[in-house]
Each structure stands twice: as C-alpha cells, then as structure tokens.
Amino acid sequence: MGALVNALVSAFPALLGATELTIACAVVAALIALALGIPAGFGRVSRAPLVRSLSTFYVETIRGTPLLLQLFVWYYGVSIVLLTLFNLDIDTTVYQVLTALNSNSFFPTGGVSSFFFAVVGLGFNYGAYMAEVVRAGIQAVDPGEVEAAHSLGLSQFQTSRLVVLPQALRLMIPPLTNNLITLVQDTSFLQVLGIAELSLVTYGFTTAISSPSIRWTFYGVALLEYFVICYALALVSQWYERRTAHTLAGAH
Amino acid sequence: MSRIPAPLRFVGMVASLVIVFGAIVSLGLGALDKAQNNGTTGLFNLGALLGYDLHFLQVQVSVIFTQTDHTGTPFHNYFVQGLATTIEFCFIAMPLALVLGLVLALMSRSPWRVVRTPARAYVEFFRNTPLLVQMQAIYTSFLLFPSTFFNAFTAGIATLVLNYAAYECENLRAGLAALDKGQGEAAATLGLSYPQTFRLVTYPQIVSVVLPPVINDLIYMFKDSSILSIITIAELTERTQDLARRFGFLSWQFYFLGAALYLALSLPLARLARAVEARLKSASFQPKFDLATASLIILGGMVVVGWVCGVIQEPISPGAVGAALVQLLAATVLAVLIVAGFVFVPGGLVYLIGSLIGAVRRSLARPARGAESGPGVAVSR
C-alpha cells in the first residue's frame, strides 16, 4: 500500500500535466473540427455540384477510414508531400515565426510537427462527423418553412440566419456534444505519434512497474479521469435535452 | 446522372478530384518555378507531376506483386492476411457484443434496482472511457500471466466485446423502449409464453429499430479494430505499418493504400446500412422468414466466418484448426467472465452505496409519509 501511494504521489505532477495536454488537444481539435465541419455540413446540402461533391468526398473519405491510419497519413504522408512539393517544414516554419516574434526559446526540444499533425488529423477526422451532424440538423428543418420564408421575400442568407439556423442549432447541440465526448476519448490515439497525453503517460508508468496492483491503479486513475470529463459532458447534454424537450416538441 | 450506379459515380468523383487537384498543384508549381528560377517550362506541366506520382506507383506495384519477405511470403499476401484478421476480429466480437448487450439491455429495463444499477454503471463506464486505454489496461494486465487465456488475441476480442456490448446495449434498449406495452399484454392474453412472445411478437419489431445502428456499429468496429495494431495483432493497419517501415521511401504511399482498402470495405457497408434502413422503414416490408432464427443463423455464421478467417492464414493442419478453435472458445469464455465481473463487482459497489443513500433518505422521510401508507391496505381488505 505504501509503495502504491508513493508511486501515485510521485506520478501526480506528470499525470496532471498529461491531463492538461489531453484537454488542450481536445479543445484545439474541437475548434478545428467545428471550423471544418460547419462549412462542410452546409456544403453537403448546397445546390452547387462542385461544393457538394467536394464536401461529400471529404466526409465519406474521412468517415470510411480509421483515425489511427489517418494520423499516420498526416504525420508520414502529408508532411512529406508538404516538404517535397512546397518545401514547407512545420518545425522550421514555426521556429522562424517564433524567431520573428523574438521568442524562440518557447520552441520545444522535440519539435512541434507531431503535435501539429496529430491535432490537425484529429480535427479533420471530427470535422467530417460534425459535418454530418450539421447536415442532419439542417435537413430536419421543415422545407415548408424555407419556402414560406422565401415567399415572404427573405433572401437565401436571411432564411438561413433567421429561419433554418435557430431551429437547426437546437437540434444539433446533443449530437455535437456526443461527438465532443468521443473526441475527448479519441485524444488517446495521439499516443501513436508520441504526444505525451494521458494514455501514453499512463502506459509509460505501467510498463515501468511490474506490480499488478499498481498497474491496475494507474489504469483505474486514467480511466476515471476520462470518465469524469466525458460523463460531465454527457450530463450537460442530457440537461440541455431535458430543458429543450418541450420546446422542440412544440416546434414540430 | 441518376442512371449511373452509385459506386461508379464515387469513382468518377474521386478521379475528377484527383485530376483537378493535380492540375491546380502543377499550375502552382509551374508558377513558382517561373517566379523563382525564370524557368522556361510552360505553366501547365501536368506530366511532371503525374510522372512523379506514376514512378512511385510503379515501384509500389512492383514491390507488392513481385517481392517477398524473408519467410517467402509475397507482400500482396500481407494485405489479404491483414484484411482477414480484421474481419476475424470484427465478426467474432460483434455477435458476442450483441448477445452481452441484449443481456445488459434486459437488465437495465428490469424493475429491480439490484439488477438495473450494475448494468447502467457498466454501460456508462464503458461508453465514457476511451477504447484504446481500455485495451491497454486489459492487455498489460494479461501480459502478467501469458497463457491460452491471456494473450493478445483474447485481449483484443475481450476489449472489442466489452466496449461494444455497452453500445449495443444502448441500441437494443432503444429498440425495446420503442415497443408498445399493450402488445405484450395482448400476446399474454392469447396464451403465448414469455419466450414465444419474445420470439414472435417482440423480436421482429426490435430488429427493425436496431438493425441499422448495429450495422453502423459494425462499420465503427471495423475501423476501431485498427487499434489492435498497438497490441501486436497483425491486422490491416499493422501490416500497412510493417510495409511502410520496410520501404521507408514508399511509406506514405502504403499508408494511403491501407486507407483506401479500409474505404473500399466501409463505403459499401455504409450503403448497405442505408439501404437496410430504407427497406425496414418502408410500409410494405414483410419478413418472409422467421427473423429470430435468421438472425441466430447470421450471428453464428459471422462467428464461423471469423474463425475460418483466422484458420486460413496459417498452413492448414488439424493442430492449427484445433488451436484456432481453442482460442475462439477461450476468448468467448473470457469476455463473458469479464463482463460478469465488471457488472457484478463495481456495479454491486454502486448499488450498495445507492441503497445506503436510499435507506438514509427513507429513514429521514418516514415520519411524514407514515400516515399515508394505510388506505391502500384498507381498500384491498
């Protein structure tokens, strides 16, 4: 028991830092996902064939391949393509930018390219899932209301802003939160690119310790942390659903 | 436009996107070349770009179709074996997850709290923690006692089953919740026993609600099984990584090829899910056979196909076939045991704490409610 407590206490700062990194990765990836998913979701219901086929291609390709392989494609594939075609190296670019800002002492010794491609890969992956949520939300709005808005003289943009989006957003919130929950869980995939987030740090501690009880305690702590984050999000989603349940029932 | 079949349309779309992208990139490169080096080549030099791509494609194709590794296995077999292993894991884990999910769903609809709480705790825990960490926790625990029961294969199956049982429980619970209570009562009035009611009345209705999300989950499992590469199982991702490591100069081409193989299988499955959903929702849908028997055959068939996929990867001998069967049985027993342990141990703890809180609450609230419990008894007398 003493050994267990000692191991946990000595690992505490590392675990705390790893949890912070996990949350930071999740937040950045979620922002990228939203920035990609909302336009792609609108693109999927667009009337322009090029826009529609481009966003369909993005969504179907990403949703049809595993995240793990996508991360490899980003880290080994896209980085090489950027290097050979555009002579663009993420590490060098970031270093130059930091130098221009007189703050290149912030540049991490391990480089930033794995972090960059991991977060961008995660964001691109979830962008496709967010796009499906956005599309479903838009298509759930009664087309009669759009026609009514058009006949009242509202422009396409006004119809989207005043009629479609207020209803669609309310429908989108619960599935978007579900996607956020799986996004937080899938930050554990970033360990394959060597990002020291919660799962990799836990794995490192457990492989260094041969005592079964300490191993299980470490995994219990890690799983509990993920559980707390994700369950809190799930509770928020449930609360929101309950709060808007009768409003939505009235809308239909 | 609508006459062109969907897969052909998708291929056409991909091809046109590649051409458009290639044209844009080569235009950009040409412009860059002109700006920097006063190059004399034309702006639109598609040949240079396609030539570069074609060269690597040629090398890749020749590697896959002509070269072998040190044991003499040709490299195209890597993809076949990887795909077979992926299918093996999905097809064995999914039926097991469905069966355990059904048990959990029935448990979580039970009126008794002692049955309901453990199942809910299990489902919430597994849905809210990452699959990868669950897998590593199970695998590193198994590494402490390596044996027929505890190895990478059983760890992989157990992880997929445990995680997906929680998701299937939610799907099946939604299917059960959609049922009309009066039908069960009507069936009971007609003299059907509970198993008969379940098979003939309840089950066909559950299937129509549950089948589309279950097929979707099969697609998710197909993709999620890529994480098994982390615990040294040689499925498609691991094989792709292996090839990429062997041929460093072709690494990203191999990753793209692996992704394309995943895409080639999951897109038709997604189309199938959509078609099944449309068919089940249409008013004219009439099952022509006993759905309960059919789904039992399908689930059993999936396990058999998965097992065969495991067997064909090695030189077939009675010993290898028997070993594969033993592995399959070990994984099944282990998954059931772990689910039971997970449901009854932490679930029991949650139940104990919950019932303690409930007892305290009731003892605090008793004086106010004590007087109201009388009339019910009086009426029944």
Domain for residue B224, yes or no?
yes
CB B312 within 8 A of CB B84: yes
Contacts of B244 (CB under 8 A, 6+ apart): A72, A76, B250, B251, B252, B254, B255
The predicted-structure confidence for B229-287, as pLDDT tens digits, reads as follows 999 898 899 999 998 888 887 787 888 888 888 988 888 888 888 888 888 777 677 76
Considering only CA atoms, which of B269, B258, B264 is closest in space to residue A69?
B258
* Phi, psi for B143 (deg, rounded to 5): -65, -20
Summarised one tens digit per residue, pLDDT across range A20-73 is: 999 999 999 999 999 999 999 999 988 888 888 889 889 988 998 999 999 998
pLDDT band at B28 (very low <50, low <70, confident <90, very high): low
Q: Which residue has the higher pLDDT, A85 or B182?
A: B182
Ramachandran assignment for A197, one of left (phi > 0), alpha (psi -120 to 50 degrees), beta (any other): beta
Q: Is A236 on the interface with B (CB under 8 A)?
A: no
Tell me the CB-side half-sphere exposure of residue B18, using CA atoms within 13 A: 9
One-character DSSP codes across chain A: -HHHHHHHHHHHHHHHHHHHHHHHHHHHHHHHHHHHHHHHHHHHT-S-HHHHHHHHHHHHHHHHS-HHHHHHIIIIIIHHHHHHHH---HHHHHHHHHHHTT-GGGS-TT-SHHHHHHHHHHHHHHHHHHHHHHHHHHHHS-HHHHHHHHHTT--HHHHIIIIIHHHHHHHHHHHHHHHHHHHHHHGGGGGGGT---HHHHHHHHHHH---HHHHHHHHHHHHHHHHHHHHHHHHHHHHHHHHHHHHHHHH-
Of the ranges A9-18, A102-111, B56-65, B66-75, the best mean pLDDT one: A9-18
Domain harbouring B348, CATH code: 1.10.3720.10
- Closest residue on chain A to B1 (Cα): A49
Half-sphere exposure of B169 (CA within 13 A, CB side): 28
| Alpha-carbon separation of residue B44 from A87, A166, B29, B55, B207 (angstroms) | 20, 46, 9, 20, 56
* Two tokens, residue A84: 């050979």
Instruction: Say if residue B12's pLDDT is above 70.
Output: yes
Domain that holds residue B271: 73-355
Mean pLDDT computed over B177-200? 81
- Give chain B's mean pLDDT: 80
CATH number at A148 reads 1.10.3720.10
Q: A109-137: per-residue pLDDT in tens?
A: 777 888 899 999 999 999 999 999 999 99
Is residue A159 very low, low, confident or very high in pLDDT (cuts 50, 70, 90)? confident
User: Containing domain of residue A18, as a range?
Assistant: 2-251
Of how many residues is chain B composed?
Answer: 381
pLDDT reading at B26 higher than 70 = no
Chain A environment of B256 (Cβ under 8 Å): 73, 77
User: CA of B132: which chain A residue's CA is closest?
Assistant: A188
Residue B148: the pLDDT is 79
Look at residue B368 and tell me if it is in a domain.
Answer: no
pLDDT for B379 equals 42
Q: Which of B171, B103, B108, B164 lies closest to B351 in space, CA to CA?
A: B108
Residue B14 in any domain: the answer is: no
Report if residue B363 sits inside a domain: no
ipTM: 0.87
**pLDDT at residue A163 above 80?**
yes
* The pair of three-digit structure tokens given for residue B306, joined into one six-digit string: 């998965």
Helix, strand or coil for residue B312?
Answer: coil
Interface of B with A in 240-269 (CB under 8 A): 240-241, 244, 251-252, 255-256, 258-259, 262-263, 266-267
Does residue B12 lie in a domain region? no
Contact B267 A57 (CB under 8 A): no
Report pLDDT for B329. Answer: 85
Q: For chain B, what is the domain count?
A: 1
* Six-digit token string for A159: 């119809």
Over residues B181-192, mean pLDDT:
82
Stretch 187-216 of chain A: residues touching chain B, C-beta under 8 Å: 187-189, 191-192, 198-199, 202-203, 206-207, 210, 212, 215-216
Total domains present in chain A: 1
